[in-house]
Each structure stands twice: as C-alpha cells, then as structure tokens.
Structure 1
C-alpha cells in the first residue's frame, strides 16, 4: 500500500487542484460568461467525443498494462505497436461516425440542432484523446501517473478557463471557442509526449517482429474483449448528458452539467487509487499471488470509501450554499437533486472497490462482454423510461440504478469465481458514522444563512466529527497506527 499511497497522494493533489479550477470554471465562469444553451453545447460536444474514446482506443489501455511486463524485452516495439493500433482505431471510428452522421443529426435536430454544426470538433477531440490515453497507459505501466494526471486534471482545466476568458473579452467568437476545445486536448497531448520522451520511457520502434507472436495475439484478443468493459464504464458516465440534450434540450443539459460537476468530485480519490492499483493487480495475477489481490481489494474498499464518504457528506450538506454562489442560480439550482443521485452512484462505484480492475486482469476478463451488454441495455433503457417522466432527475436516477446493477453483477462474479470480497466491518461502521454525522449537522445548522460562513462552519463540524468517529471506532486501524508513527517521527 505504501507505493500506492505515494503515487495516489501526488495524483490526488493534482486532482484536487484541478477540482478548484474546475469548480471555478463550472460554478462561476461558465454560468457568468455563457448562457445555458451555450453551456449545454459546450458539454455535449466534449461528451460525444469522450464517449467514443474507449471504442477508438480498442481497449488497448488495459492491454498495455497487463502485457507490458511480458513484453519488457521488446517494450519499444510493443508500445509503438499500441500507438499504431490506436491510430487505426481512431480512423475506423471516425469513418463509422461520418457514415452515421445523418442518424446523429436526426437525434439532435429537434431539441439541440446547434450540435450538428460542430461534429468536426468531436473528431479532433477524439484523435487527441485517444493518443493521450495510450501515452497515459505507458506512464501507468512504469507507475508514473502523477504527471499525466497533472496534465489531465490541472492543465486541461486551466486551458479551458483561458479559452472561455478569451471569448469573454471578445477576442474570438463562440464558434471559435467551441473549435478551440480541440486545441486544449492537443496541448495536453504534446505535454505528455514531451514528458515521456524526457524520461526515456520508450522510443519509436516500427519493427513489430520483435514482439513474440503469442504475446501479440493474446494482447490483441485481450484488448478487444476488454474494450467492451471500458466502453460500458464510459457509457454510464456520458450517455445521460447526450440523452438529456437530445430528449430535452441544451438548456437542460447545462443544468445537468453544473450538478454533475459538483458531484463528480466525490470519485476523484478512486480515480487516483485506481491508476496506481492497476499495474499492481496485473503483477499479482502474473505471479498468481491471489492473497495479495484479496488484501488489496479489501484495503482499497475501506480507504477510498472512508475518503469519498467524507466528500459526499461535505458536498450534500453544503449543497444550498454551493448553489448560492452560482451566477443565475435561479436557473441552475434546479439540478440540486441531480447532485444527490449522481453522488450516490459514485459512492456505489467506490464501495465496490477495484472490481473492474480485478476482472480485467484475471483469466475471467471475457466476462466484461456479459456485464457490459447488461449494463448498456440497462442504462439506455432506464434513461428512455425515466427522462420523459422525471427530466434531468430521471437521468441522474437512471445513472444510479445502472451503476448499482453493474457493480452488483461484477461483485457476484468475482465472489463466485475467485472468492474475493471487498467488504469488512469497517465499511458498516463508516455507513453508520456517515448517517450520524449528516443528521447531526442537519439539525445543528439547519437555520444558518447560506453562504461562505455556513460552508466553513458546517464543513469544520463534519470533518472533526467524522475523523473523531473514525478514531473512536478504530476504522482502518492499521493505517491509523502507521500515520501516528509517522507523525511522531516527524515531531522527533
């Protein structure tokens, strides 16, 4: 866990610096500069591109992590081969995208016709994101995740702020601003490329014959199968936004975007931990060290739920004060209940720990086909059923139901096939503690005037009460002892 903790800490710091910038962008800058329809278009174009990334990537990200240790003797050829395949995947997906262009136009023509004029931006964002994801996997294979995370979480958001600012001062028009989103992803790609080159992680080697044929064959088979799993996860994250735009309109998606962005902070520690855990899970499976995987599974479940539950409590307890600072809050606070359901869906995903990573790197990885098929049908079906009746709240509740179903299916598969289980008494203690802390702050500070004082007082009470409860209930006791020893060492 020490190796995970060090890299996760650096990655989490980048994530939360990115959160500060992202919150400024989403909760103030965008609502101040853009009208709801423009915000909805801004989000829809990006989500459409990012939804296609796992497909165009052909599942190679997980394949690189799994097979890199086996291809260490031909790593340059192997990684060059991966980049070439990813570019081929981009070309194929782009062709399919344009072949079905009329279908896409028909889907958005009624409620969001503005999207149709910017489909070319989707293609450029897709290209830069696919190549970026491959280089990110290369860095992850060397357990070098902090700098790619910095580009992804901080640099991209800073550039987005600058782009919107340039539009605000009238130096470019709105169409140029939307087109400029592709430059944000290009600059990030150039930065990570320079980083990889400076570290000398690999050099381009087009002699693919250096890669042993069995490794090449298994790598391609594995990547194409896990493609479905990664596509499924992205589908849950992005399809709701696209369906809100096409079924309700861009203004509704703007409200949904603000709410979703508030809630997404909850899962940032999970992202950081997952990035570092993936190569370790792959190594443990390669060495057939199953007890180490079970230990990792349980420890990560407790630690990331501990952190993320505190974030959920802080966000939902302060939700009215958070919306208090949003320009034109009368429009956007209609998404308040979206925050709750998206937040709960993230907590569900966090609670089930690294179940996706375990399936992906196990010999049962083909199960991704079944899980993803069930989940894809469920998430689209739930949205079609709930959006017409409940609007954006229906889309958020659909995401919650789909995430719960998806994780329960994966949990049962891991439990039956490998007898791994992430749950412990600490999880139950955390659940009870979270309920007690929330109820206490609700009754103690319910009459406070909304604003910065309310946020500070309420957050301080939640944090102190929560940490005191963790200490008193001896949750994650070994980690507590290690932390206390380090503090004593520093003081001495």
Structure 2
C-alpha cells in the first residue's frame, strides 16, 4: 500500500491545485465572460469527442492493465507492447469516425431544435476525439509504469491554465467564436503532445514488435477481452454522458451550461479517487492473476474507505456552502437553478467513488464478460429515467435520474463482485465513517447563518472541518491517515 499512498498523495496534491485553478476559472471567468449557451457548447463538444474516443479506445484502458504483465520480461523489455497500444485505438478511430458521419442526420435532428450551435460545429468533433484518444493512450502507458504525478500535472494544471488563456482571448475579443472553438480544441492537442513527450522519457516507445511473441492462447484472450470490454464500454460511456446530451437536446445549450456548472462543482468529489484507483489498478490486476482474494479484499476496502472519506468531506464542504457559492459567482442567480442538481449529482458521485473499484476487479478477473449482462440494462434504465424526469423536473430531473442510475448500476455491479469474486468493500470503519458524515452534517444545521457570505462560509467550513477531521483521527478510521498525521506532528515537535 506504500507506493499507492505516495503516488496517490502526489497525484491528489497536483489534482487539487488544478481543481483550485478550475474553480477560479469556472466560477469567475466562465460565468462572467461566457453565456450559459457557450458554456454548454464547449461541454457538449468535449463530451461528444470524449464519448467517441472512449469507443475508439477499443477497451485499451482496461486491457492494457490486464495484459501488460504478460508482455513484460525479466530484462525490462515490453516486447512490442507500445506498438499494440497505438494500433488498436488507430483502428478504433477509423471505425467510429466513419460511424459518426454515418449517423450525422439522426444526431443533428436530435439537436437542431434546441441546440443549433452544436450542429454548426459537428465536424469539429472528430479531430477533437483524436487528441483525447491518444492522450488517454499515453496516460495509460504512464499508469503501467507506475507514474501518475506528471500526467496529473498535465491534465489538472497545464491544461486548465491553457484553457484560461483561450477563455480570456475570447472574452477580450481577440478571437471570434470559430477561433475560440479552434483554440479550445488545440489546448487538448498540446496536452496530448506533452503526455507523449513524458512517456518517451520514462519508458520505451519503440514500435518494434515480434508477432511470434504473442501465442495463440494469449491472442485469443486479448481479442476476447477487448471485444467484451469494448461492447461494455458502449453502454457505460453512453450512460455517463447521457444526462448532459439529453439536457442539451431537450432543454437547450443554455440549460446544458447550467448543468455543466453544477457538474463542475461535483467533479472535485472524485479527484482523490482518480489517483487512488489509478495507482491501485495494476496491483489489483496482479493479485487477481495470482488468485489472492484476501489481498484483493483488503485493497478494495481500503480504496473504498479512503475514496469515500475524502470525497464525502469535499461534498460536505460544498453542500454546507452551496448558497454562499451561488451568491459569490457572477450571474449566480442564473446558475442557482442547478442547486439541487449539485445535490443529486453529488450523491451519485459518492456512490460511484465508494463502489467503482469493483468495476476494476470485474474487468481484471476472468468474469469480465459479465459486465455486458447488466450494462445494456443500465443504459435502458438511464434513458428511461432521463426521458421521464427531465420533462417533469427540468434540469434537476437529470440529476435525480443520474443518482438513481448510479444506485441501480453499482448495486448490480457489487452483487456481481460478491457472487463471482467473493469480496466487498463493506467494513466497520466504512459504516462508522458514514455515521460521522451524518453527525457532522447535523452539527452544521445547528450553526447560525451570518448575512456576510464570506464570513459565513469561512466559519462554517472551519468548524465542520475540525469536527470531522478530529473524529476521523480519534476513532482511527484510517490507519494510513493516522500514520501520516502522527509523522507530521512529530516533525512539528522536532
């Protein structure tokens, strides 16, 4: 667990610095200089390109972690692994870009009424997708080499700073709308190139490969796993982006912008889980390969506990200050329509960060194909819930639908993990942690509200944070956290 903690801390520190930059950008630049429709456009373009790239990956993000141990040799060579890491997404990009244009008419018909601006930029999505696709490939390679801090630096800090430049150039009329969209997409191209330069320094990027190295049995395993994972990704990736697309198509890009601002608030909840789950994945893969279920269970419970601990803490700080946040940001009265979207998306995100590592366990086990059986069911549930709730509750309906979808999907996933892998994330410490969150939320409700927004936010945040952190430490909820705190105290004493 030591390397997980070290790499996770580095990755999380970088990510939170990026989150702070993103916070300033989102709530004091985007909301001031861009209209909700323009924010919605950038978000829909990104999600459309991201959805295409997730399909075009052909399951590489997961299969690379599962099969990388088979390519490694004792002398450190990867036996052409990087070549295959590039080849499969290239094939996928050809297939799905062709499919994207084949479906041009039904896609544009869906958006033309309420989101005509997206239709205008329809052709900008494929190049955007290529940049996201190979950026993801280079990040996967970094993960396999157990290095996540620099890729996090690129994604969370450099990318955000470059986006600030793009926003300001548009805000001060240096760029027109077409120039802004081109600049926005180019930022991701630069990030992709930086990721490539990094992996070229830390690992082999040779395209030399030996077909004979891959045995018939290994080839069958790779093809079977990749095909199943790709089909499963079709459903899971559609579900994860369905809410925004349906808000944009049914309510318009302005509501998609409001939904995006709510989404940005909630996104910080999963920041720690990105680092913890990312660095834990190769370890889980090796443990499953060796059949060490005890090690898998211990890892699963620690990952879930720490992800909920930090994610729940962040959610608590957001929700106790939600009115203060909307009062401070430019045009807050417009974006406050998404207040309850924040609440329901956050609940869904907490379910996700607590149970999502189970998805990794299924992916790296011999039961990976079972994911197909409930993926399409969940896709149907998500579409049905959004179609039902958005017309009734408006933009909030999309948040409620997302929460219900997360609850159903992760419950089904955990049932599968329990039945097939014989493991679960439930522990006494996890139950205690949930109780602490409820207790501290009750403490917040007893605090008087000050009419000065900043003062109210600061004193409320300080009291709640001290209560929660003190209780977590005193009850020894996390041995790893207590060890780090004790070391810090000793350094201060010395």
TM-score where L is the length of structure 2 = 0.96
SS of match in other structure, 1:467: helix
Residues 324, 9 of structure 1: alpha-carbon distance in 2 compared, 3 angstrom cutoff: same
Report the secondary structure of 1:194's partner residue: helix
C-alpha separation in 2, matches of 1:478 and 1:78: 35
Is residue 71 of structure 1 aligned with residue 86 of structure 2? no
How far, CA to CA, are the matches of 2:420 and 2:323 in structure 1? Answer: 45
- The residue aligned with 1:374 is 377
Structure 2 equivalent of residue 440 of structure 1: 443
Runs of 4+ that moved beyond 6 A: none
Answer with 426-435 or 339-348: which moved more. Answer: 426-435
Query: What does residue 337 of structure 1 align with?
Result: 340
Alignment pair present for 1:12 and 2:15: no
State yes or no: 1:55 paired with 2:55: yes
CA contact (8 A) 1:285 1:361 kept: yes
- Structure 1: which 5+ runs fail to align? none
For residue 141 of structure 2, the aligned residue among 138, 141, 145 is 138
Distance of 2:30 and 2:481 partners within structure 1: 40
User: What root-mean-square deviation, in Å, do the aligned CA atoms of Structure 1 and Structure 2 show?
Assistant: 1.7
Change in Cα spacing, 1:117 to 1:208, as seen in structure 2 (3 Å) is farther
Greater displacement, 482-491 / 130-139: 482-491
CA contact under 8 A between 1:335 and 1:393: conserved in structure 2? yes
User: Residue 107 of structure 2 corresponds to which residue in structure 1?
Assistant: 104
Whether the aligned pair in 2 keeps the contact of 1:59 and 1:223 (CA below 8 Å) is yes
| Residue pair 1:136, 1:148 contacting (<8 A) in 2 also | yes
SS in 2 for 1:68: helix
SS in 2 for 1:14: helix
Greater alpha carbon shift after TM alignment, 334-343 vs 72-81:
72-81
From 461, 464, 468, the equivalent of 1:462 is: 464
The 3-state SS of whatever aligns with 1:70 is helix
Matches within 5 A, 1:415-426: 415-426=418-429
Query: d(CA) in 1 for partners of 2:282 and 2:231?
Result: 20
Does the aligned pair in 1 maintain the 2:277–2:303 contact within 8 Å?
Answer: no
* CA offset digits 1:91-141 (Å, max 9, x no partner): 110000000001111000111111111112211111111111111111111
Aligned equivalents of 2:452 and 2:220: distance in 1? Answer: 60
Q: How many residues align?
A: 491
Q: 3-state SS of the aligned residue for 1:309?
A: helix
1 CA distance for matches of 2:91 and 2:452?
53
Match of 1:309 in 2: 312
Decide which moves more: 433-442 or 315-324: 433-442
Conservation of the 8 A alpha-carbon contact between 1:78 and 1:211: no
Shift of 1:210: 3.7
User: Which digits, 9 at most, give the CA deviation of each residue in 1:427-472, with x for residues without a partner?
Assistant: 2211221112112112213x21252222211111111000121133
TM-aligned CA distance change 1:482 to 1:326, over 3 Å: closer
What CA distance in whole angstroms lies between the structure 1 residues aligned with 2:314 and 2:203? Answer: 38
Q: C-alpha separation between the residues in 2 aligned to 1:350 and 1:481?
A: 23
Number of the residue aligned with 2:244: 241
1:44-81 CA deviation, whole Å, 9 max, x = no partner? 11111112222111111111111011011462512212
- The two structures have a TM-score, normalised by structure 1, of 0.96
2:365 is matched with which residue?
362
Q: Is residue 43 from structure 1 mapped to residue 46 from structure 2 by the alignment?
A: no
Residue 395 (1) aligns with residue 381 (2): no
1:257 maps to 2:260:
yes
